[in-house]
Amino acid sequence: MQNINTLGFVRVAAAIPAVKVGDCKHNAEHIVAQAKTASNQNASLIVFPELSITGYTCADLFGQPFLLQSAADGVRDVVKASDKIDSIVIVGAPIAFNNSVYNCAIVIYGGKIKGIVPKTYLPNYNEFYEARWFASGEELKGRVDTIDFYSETVPFGPDLLFRFGETCFGIEICEDLWVPIPPSSHQALGGANLLVNISATDEMVGKHDYLRSLISQQSARTMSAYVYSSCGFGESTTDLVFAGNAMIAENGTFLAESERFNLDEQIVFADIDIEKLMTLRRRTTTFRNDANAPKFRTIDIDSAVVLDEIRREFDSMPFIPNDAINRDERCREIFNIQVNGLAQRFIASRSQTAIIGISGGLDSTLALLVAARTMDKLGLSRKQVVGITMPGFGTTGRTYNNAINLMKALGISIKEISIKDACIQHFKDIGLADCDRSVTYENSQARERTQILMDVANQLNGIVVGTGDLSELALGWATYNGDHMSMYGVNCSIPKTLVRYLVSWVAADGNDPDAKPYLLDIVDTPISPELLPADENGNIAQKTEDLVGPYELHDFLLYNFVRFGFAPRKLYYMAVMAFAGKYDAPTVKKWLTVFLRRFFNQQFKRSALPDGPKVGSISLSPRGDWRMPSDATVRMWLDEAEQL
C-alpha cells in the first residue's frame, strides 16, 4: 500500500470522561489519561465536554472564587501534561476575566494554550440558568483579543479558528448549535472544515433524535465534519440526567457514536476525509467570499500526527442505501423522477407512442417499466408503449423469451423485427468478410437497431426512449449513434448497480404480478450486448463484465472520481479496502486503469448525449453536471495509477 498521510484523512476523537462535580484535580487527571489514550491511537484532536474541568452542574458554585481558581489549576495541569501528548486537546472550563466569568473552550497543544473560545449563547430557561453565572463572549467582540492566563498571553474570543495542516477547526459550545444561526455556520464560511461542539445536553424523551438531526444537518449544511462531546455519568442528577453523547458526523453522515447511559468513560474515534469536504466546498458557490461573513483570527498549530492506517469503512455500493427501508424509499423516489421526466417529455413532444428496443436485459427492462408506468400516470393505454425486440446474431433464447414474455405481461404493443438480413446486406455493402467479428460487426448491429427504432417512431408519431445507463456512459460502453442515441434517455443518470435494484424493487412492489418471474430472471441474467454469436450450448458468449470489468467496482470508482475528484492513489486505496476479500489489489489496479482510460477517451460520446432526467448527485450530462473536453489527456492519471 502507500503513504496514507497523503490521502487527506485526519483522525479525531470525542471523549466522555469520568467526572466528579467540583473536583477539578480528579477531572483533570481523567482528561489527561483519556488524552494520552487518544494520542496513542494517533488522533490529531480530542474533544472533551463543556465545563469538563469542573463538571457542568456546579450551579452557584461557579460564583465561588475557590472553584474558579481550582479550575484554572486543573487547566494548568492539563497544559503541563500536554507537552508529552501529540493530540490537540480541547477542554471546557470557567474562566474569570475582569468583572465576569465565561464558559469557555480551551485549546491546548504542546504545553501551551493556543486559544480560548467563550460561549456565545447562554440558555436561561427551564433548569438552565447559565446567564446567572456566565457572561456571553459576544460582549467582548472588538474589545478584547487576549487574556492573561498564568503569566501567558492567550488569544481569546469567539472569533478564533485553529489550523493544522489542511484542517481548520472552529468551536461552539452547546446552546450555540441550537440557535437559528449557529456560530459554526459563520466559522464554516470563514474556512473551518471541522466544527467542534463541547456540550452538556441533558436527556428528555425525543431530545436525542432532535440533537442528532441538528448535528447531521449542520455538518451537511456546512459541508464539514462535526465533533460533539457532551457530559455523562458523574454529573449531578438533582433535576437532570446526562447520558453522555459523543458523536462525529461528516457531511450529514454519522461516523461514530458513543453508547448512551453508559456508566464508564468512553472515547469514540473517526477518520475524517478533509480532502473530500474541501472538494465539495470548492464546487459550491456558498463557500466563496462572503462580504457579510464575520472576520476570524486563525491560529496555526504545528501538529503532525502520522496515521499508520485508515480506520474507516468505505461503502462498496455508494449508489445503494444500506438499509432496506431507505432503499425502498430511494427506489420509489428515483422511479418517480424517471416517470415524471418521461411524462413531461411525452406531453411536450405531442407524442402518440413511446418506442423502446427490448433486449431482455436490465437496462431496456427498466426503461420499459418506466414507460408503462408513465402511461398509467398520464391515464393513457399501455398499448401506446411499443416494445420492439430485434433478434440478432447473438440473441439467446433466454433473453428473447424474457423480452417477449415481459412485454405480454405488461400489456404493451409488441413488434418483432429481425436485424439479421439487414445486417448481412449491410456487411456486403461495406465489404465486411463473413468471418469478421470486429467492432464493425458489433456496432453495425447496434446502429441497425437504432435506425429501426427511429424510423418506427416516425411512423407512429412517437419518441424513442433510451435505455443506456450511467455506468455505460462513464465507460463509453455504447455504440456512437447506435444505442448511444435516443429522444429521451430515462436511465442516463442511473448506474448499473442501481438499475438491478430498481428492477428488483418493481418486481416486488406488486403492481405487475404477472411480470415478476420474468423481471427476477432478467436480474439474474449475465449482462451482455449480445452482439457476438452464442456459444455451442446457446448461452451468452459475450459477457460485458469480462471485457470492461465488474460494474460494482466501476460504479464505486465513478462515484468517488466524479463526486469528489479523488486521485488514482486514493481511489485505489479506498477500493482495496471497500472490496477486501472480493478483489485483490492487482485486480483493483487493473480495472482502475481501464476505468480511467475509458472515462477520458470516451468523453466524446457524453458530449453528444440526448436529454434525460438527473436522479442523484452524479450525472454526466454535458449541459450542466460534467463538462470535459473530449480530447483531454489521461496521461497524468494513468502515470499515477501505474505507480501504485
Which positions are catalytic? 50, 119, 174
Rg of the chain in Å (alpha carbons): 30
For 578: left if phi > 0, alpha if psi spans -120 to 50, otherwise beta; the answer is alpha
d(C-alpha 35, C-alpha 114), whole Å: 16
**Non-local CB neighbours of 4 within 8 Å, separated by 6+ positions:** 307, 308, 309, 310, 573
CA 98 from chain center: how many Å?
A: 47
Per DSSP, 4 falls in state: G
Burial 486-524 (b: 16+ CB within 10 A, else e): bbbbbbbbbbbbbbbbbbbbbbeeeebeebbebbebbbe
Do strands 245-250 and 253-257 pair parallel, antiparallel, or not at all (unpaired)?
antiparallel
Q: Using CB atoms within 10 A of its CB, is residue 159 exposed (0-12), middle (13-18) or buried (19+)?
A: buried
Contact 157, 173 (CB under 8 A): no
- Structure-block grid coordinates of residue 636: 497524468
- Taking Cα atoms as reference points, which of 53, 50, 48, 49 lies closest to residue 21? 53
b (16+ CB within 10 A) / e for 362-386: bbbbbbbbbbbbbbeeeebebebbb
- First CA to last CA across the chain, in angstroms? 8
Environment class of 263 (CB within 10 Å of its CB; exposed 0-12, middle 13-18, buried 19+): exposed
Burial of 635 by CB count in 10 Å (0-12 exposed, 13-18 middle, 19+ buried)?
A: exposed
Q: What strands, in cross-sheet order, belong to the sheet with 385-389?
A: 413-416, 385-389, 353-357, 462-466, 488-489
Comparing CA positions, the residue from 443, 445, 439 lying closest to residue 425 is: 445
SS3 (DSSP) at 237: coil
| Spatial distance between the Cα atoms of 106 and 116, rounded to a whole number of angstroms | 5
What is the amino acid identity at position 2? Q
Q: Cell 492539563 sits at which residue? A: 78
Count how many residues are written for the chain: 644
In contact, 563 and 618? CB cutoff 8 Å: yes
Pairwise CA distance, residues 190 & 293, whole Å? 7
Report which of 92, 41, 535 is spatially closest to residue 305, judged by C-alpha positions.
41
List of residues 6+ apart from 196 with CB closer than 8 A: 45, 47, 90, 105, 169, 170, 171, 172, 226, 227
